[in-house]
Amino acid sequence: MIKHNHSQPFLISIFLLFNSILLSATDFIFNGFNSSDVLLYGNATIDSRVLTLTHDQTFSIGRALYHKKIPTKQPNSSYIYPFSTSFIFSMAPYKGTLPGHGLVFIFTPVTGIQGTTSAQNLGLFNLTNNGNSSNHVLGVEFDVFMNQEFDDINANHVGIDINSLTSLVSHDAGYWPDDRKSNDENSFKELKLNNGENYQVWIDYEDSLINVTMAPVGMKRPIRPLLNVSLNLSQVFVDEMFVGFTSATGQLVQSHKILAWSFSNSNFSLSEELITKGLPSFVLPKDSIFNSKGFVAGFTVGVFFIICLFALLAMVLVQRMRSRARKRAAMEDWELEYWPHRMTYEEIEAATKGFHEENVIGVGGNGKVYKGVLRGGAEIAVKRISHENDGLREFLAEISSLGRLKQRNLVRLRGWCKRDQGNFLLVYDYMENGSLDKRVFDCDESKMLNCEERIRIIKDVAFAVLYLHEGWESKVVHRDIKASNVLLDKDMNGRLGDFGLARMHNHDHVARTTKLVGTVGYMAPEVIKTGRASTKTDVYMFGILILEVMCGRRPLEEGKPPLVECVWQLMLQGELVNALDERLRAKGELLNLQEVERVLNLGLLCAYPEPQARPTMRQVVNILEGKKEGQDSEIENMDTYLLQQLNSRDILSEYTQYFSYASHPTFEDIRHSSSMSLTWSKSIVEEGR
Ligand SMILES: *[C@@H]1O[C@H](CO)[C@@H](O)[C@H](O)[C@H]1NC(C)=O
Ligand SMILES: *[C@@H]1O[C@H](CO)[C@@H](O)[C@H](O)[C@H]1NC(C)=O
Ligand SMILES: *[C@@H]1O[C@H](CO)[C@@H](O)[C@H](O)[C@H]1NC(C)=O
Ligand SMILES: *[C@@H]1O[C@H](CO)[C@@H](O)[C@H](O)[C@H]1NC(C)=O
Ligand SMILES: *[C@@H]1O[C@H](CO)[C@@H](O)[C@H](O)[C@H]1NC(C)=O
Ligand SMILES: *[C@@H]1O[C@H](CO)[C@@H](O)[C@H](O)[C@H]1NC(C)=O
Ligand SMILES: *[C@@H]1O[C@H](CO)[C@@H](O)[C@H](O)[C@H]1NC(C)=O
Ligand SMILES: *[C@@H]1O[C@H](CO)[C@@H](O)[C@H](O)[C@H]1NC(C)=O
Ligand SMILES: *[C@@H]1O[C@H](CO)[C@@H](O)[C@H](O)[C@H]1NC(C)=O
């Protein structure tokens, strides 16, 4: 019978499917919340009908779940019911505090917040259960901090997380407007997640396809989704799940609010019922002058009030005009100063075939990097920076070193171009062999660098850093030395690049930086405590670079103690050589073990927790250079010095003490040391000014 009639079983199954969906359908719409709508955990509260996930304190976790479990599939079936959800959220910074960390839309089999930690873990997982498939959690994260340990692409992204904080896929937050050709990558509009604006998100799932779209509230849903991937959830979901939101602050604090939420298994248009007009706004006021004493006094004294108001208005206007004028002047100054290196947008556009996706060779914190060929045939790499404020800072930092910093181990900046406000291009020499980390960590045997090459490249980087510190009239602190910022030219020479964070200082002038920058895992402990970078903190980063390159392991890896700590333990056991990249050891090539040990020792010394005990780059270069005629005695002294330093009781106890509470502190670690977090908060408050 079945053979003769194909349509009947088909119809029956459709009917069963439809029936089961209808039986199990969950639909709800919350335009504002009340306490009977959702279950609240941790610091989550409902505040004038707004779901407020975290409070304004450090290390807060909040979670809110729909008040009952919803069926997501039939028992023992692999068919997941479709769902469509939409919500409106706002994440806003507090004045004078660095903002973090983000919020996540979740499906989870359990209630409560046990098994989760704050800060970069977003109140989603903790160090132990992150990545474990028995979590049965689907998350869509809106993350405003770049965590290298979770391979975050930048500090403003949306990602899909399955049982792990390392996203399956992620993209810069934003949308493709409908009016342009939506397959034109350049029309992408970035949205800053945590500027307090209200954003609407749509998440649809059907037949193993998931859609995530976002837009400023009030806008029609863009046709092209931000994320559109196939995703089989049948192993992830249990039969019934809770659905909701989770969020966390760390040492960095911001507010996380949900204003409205709809969810449906059956009606993909339900989100149209969300009210998008007349919502409260959490955008920080630009100018706080109305809080000033003058205003308060004016308010209490009747007539005086009006005069004051006028005065204040005038002041605001004058200030606005002044700051605008100042901005204009600053732009013109630098544009004039670096005029000779300016390139035209058309020239660069032609070289990169109109910024074609094929030409993308990398994605950095503030934008993409494209390969291009100039008309003369010279190969270039073009970094496109689009993010307004950070972007301009990075851009100016880079071009202010332009043409002045010349050294054969630095990546040469050829020129720059500014298209409009907040759209900058930097043009470098193209480096054939990519970045150092690709040749150490993520590559097959044939491309992997051998031991000698690694040591040679470490030497190249040492020369570059020495040049920055001493070779020029101003002292330059690089502040982001790491394997991924070291590039390899066609002769495999190491060249240090990415001056986006660099700052210049006159010699003998202590560097006071204003914002915590760098990459977690490479930052020296004192930078994390005080936010202050110096040549000593560069030396620290260089030490970590030595260790990661020689050991073939990233400084922080999930579930393992920090790299420095491992190497230090091996050195205490007298097995320092075993720290060497095991793939190198396995290859069994002839190794100069003495040299390897010396370089590893140097790495440990540079990454020493106490800044004063770290060597200077000049000493580092001398040690790496080894023998040179006429200088033998000095070199020998240097080796002796190195050994003495390493064997002395002091360093031993320092390191041990240091590791006993935290090694390379993540923000989580800092939480456990209240004295540390005090200095930290103070420095953040200072930075906010
Ligand atoms: C809470 O909201 C639901 C619908 O969203 C409504 O049915 C219920 O009456 C409200 N409860 C209170 C206490 O306001
Ligand atoms: C908020 O979080 C802090 C620390 O995470 C905790 O001590 C406090 O009890 C929480 N408050 C509530 C109301 O849950
Ligand atoms: C589902 O599977 C379990 C064990 O795999 C079995 O005990 C149970 O009877 C099954 N239920 C249905 C409805 O098939
Ligand atoms: C993570 O959570 C699990 C489950 O609650 C717990 O057993 C484990 O100790 C936690 N791990 C950490 C590092 O907090
Ligand atoms: C995952 O979690 C389960 C239950 O908590 C535990 O038994 C298992 O050992 C964990 N697996 C891994 C790889 O950590
Ligand atoms: C993805 O989004 C598009 C348009 O926004 C929609 O037509 C499509 O049905 C969605 N796919 C899923 C699986 O929801
Ligand atoms: C989403 O992806 C699916 C499969 O890759 C594709 O068929 C569909 O057209 C995509 N939808 C949109 C709106 O791009
Ligand atoms: C999803 O995975 C399950 C088993 O893992 C499989 O039985 C099912 O066919 C898959 N669904 C789709 C649509 O690929
Ligand atoms: C789906 O929801 C929309 C918006 O609320 C409504 O207009 C429409 O009638 C609903 N469709 C069904 C089949 O319930």
557 CA to middle of ligand 4, Å?
A: 18
Which of these, 106, 114, 328, 118, lies nearest to 233 by C-alpha position?
A: 106
Q: Minimum mean pLDDT among 272-286, 346-360, 410-424, 573-587: which range?
A: 410-424
Going by alpha carbons, the residue nearest to atom 3 of ligand 4 is 115
Higher local confidence (pLDDT), 644 or 406: 406
Higher local confidence (pLDDT), 670 or 644: 644
Q: Minimum mean pLDDT among 12-16, 33-37, 505-509: which range?
A: 505-509
Pairing state between β 360-363 and 368-373: antiparallel
Residue 673 pLDDT more than 50? Answer: no
- CB within 8 Å of 140: residues ≥ 6 apart: 104, 105, 106, 158, 159, 160, 161, 201, 203, 212
Instruction: Categorize the per-residue pLDDT at 214 as very low, low, confident or very high, splitting at 50, 70 and 90.
Output: very high
Q: Minimum mean pLDDT among 207-216, 273-282, 332-341: which range?
A: 332-341
Instruction: Categorize the per-residue pLDDT at 413 as very low, low, confident or very high, splitting at 50, 70 and 90.
Output: confident
C-alpha distances in Å from residue 604, one per residue of 166, 484, 541, 608, 630: 29, 20, 11, 6, 28
- Please tell me if the CB atom of residue 36 comes closer than 6 angstroms to any atom of ligand 1: yes
275 CA to middle of ligand 1, Å?
A: 17
Residue 338 pLDDT more than 70? Answer: no
Which pLDDT belongs to residue 636? 54
Instruction: Categorize the per-residue pLDDT at 640 as very low, low, confident or very high, splitting at 50, 70 and 90.
Output: low
240 CA to middle of ligand 5, Å?
A: 21
Q: Minimum mean pLDDT among 7-16, 175-184, 458-467, 580-589: which range?
A: 7-16
- Please tell me if the CB atom of residue 166 comes closer than 6 angstroms to any atom of ligand 6: no
Does 37 qualify as catalytic in the annotation? no
Please give the DSSP secondary-structure letter assigned to residue 493: -
Backbone angles phi, psi at 66, to 5 degrees: -55, 145
Ligand 6 atom with the smallest distance to the CA of 213 is 5
CB-CB neighbours of 454 under 10 Å: 24
- State yes or no: cis peptide before 664, omega within 30 of 0: no
572 CA to middle of ligand 1, Å?
A: 64
CB-CB neighbours of 650 under 10 Å: 10
Higher local confidence (pLDDT), 261 or 369: 261
pTM of the complete model beyond 0.75 = no
Ligand 3 pocket test: pick from 16, 73, 76 the residue with the most ligand atoms within 8 Å of its Cβ.
76
Q: Which ligand is nearest to the CA of 76?
A: 3
Residue 666 pLDDT more than 50? Answer: no
Q: Which two tokens stand for residue 259?
A: 């204003």
Instruction: Categorize the per-residue pLDDT at 154 as very low, low, confident or very high, splitting at 50, 70 and 90.
Output: very high
Ligand 1 pocket test: pick from 30, 36, 40, 258 the residue with the most ligand atoms within 8 Å of its Cβ.
36
Please give the DSSP secondary-structure letter assigned to residue 616: P
Backbone angles phi, psi at 380, to 5 degrees: -130, 160
- Please tell me if the CB atom of residue 77 comes closer than 6 angstroms to any atom of ligand 7: no
pLDDT digits (tens, 9 = 90+) for 601-611: 889 889 988 88
- Please tell me if the CB atom of residue 225 comes closer than 6 angstroms to any atom of ligand 7: yes
Going by alpha carbons, the residue nearest to atom 7 of ligand 2 is 60
Mean pLDDT calculated for residue range 118-146? 94
Backbone torsion region of residue 648, taken as left when φ is above 0, otherwise alpha when ψ lies between -120 and 50, otherwise beta: beta
Which pLDDT belongs to residue 675? 30
Mean pLDDT calculated for residue range 489-508? 69
Q: Which ligand is nearest to the CA of 228?
A: 7
118 CA to middle of ligand 2, Å?
A: 11
Instruction: Categorize the per-residue pLDDT at 167 as very low, low, confident or very high, splitting at 50, 70 and 90.
Output: very high
383 appears as a binding residue in the annotation: yes
Higher local confidence (pLDDT), 612 or 254: 254
Backbone angles phi, psi at 355, to 5 degrees: 50, 50
Which pLDDT belongs to residue 609? 85
Instruction: Categorize the per-residue pLDDT at 417 as very low, low, confident or very high, splitting at 50, 70 and 90.
Output: confident
pLDDT digits (tens, 9 = 90+) for 501-531: 555 544 444 444 434 556 677 888 887 777 7
Query: pLDDT exceeding 90 applies to what percent of the chain?
Result: 35
Which pLDDT belongs to residue 649? 46
Residue 567 pLDDT more than 50? Answer: yes
Instruction: Categorize the per-residue pLDDT at 550 as very low, low, confident or very high, splitting at 50, 70 and 90.
Output: very high
| 48 half-sphere exposure, CB direction, 13 A CA radius | 2
Which pLDDT belongs to residue 625? 83
- CB within 8 Å of 260: residues ≥ 6 apart: 29, 30, 31, 32, 87, 88, 274, 275, 276, 279
Which pLDDT belongs to residue 514? 39
Q: Which ligand is nearest to the CA of 29?
A: 1
Active-site residue (options: 152, 161, 480, 489): 480
Ligand 5 pocket test: pick from 114, 125, 134 the residue with the most ligand atoms within 8 Å of its Cβ.
134
227 CA to middle of ligand 8, Å?
A: 21
Mean pLDDT calculated for residue range 570-592? 82
Going by alpha carbons, the residue nearest to atom 12 of ligand 2 is 43
Q: What are the residue ranges of helices labelled H in 338-432?
A: 345-351, 388-400
Which pLDDT belongs to residue 7? 45
Higher local confidence (pLDDT), 260 or 382: 260
- CB within 8 Å of 676: residues ≥ 6 apart: 529, 665, 670
Mean pLDDT calculated for residue range 620-626? 84
Instruction: Categorize the per-residue pLDDT at 237 as very low, low, confident or very high, splitting at 50, 70 and 90.
Output: very high
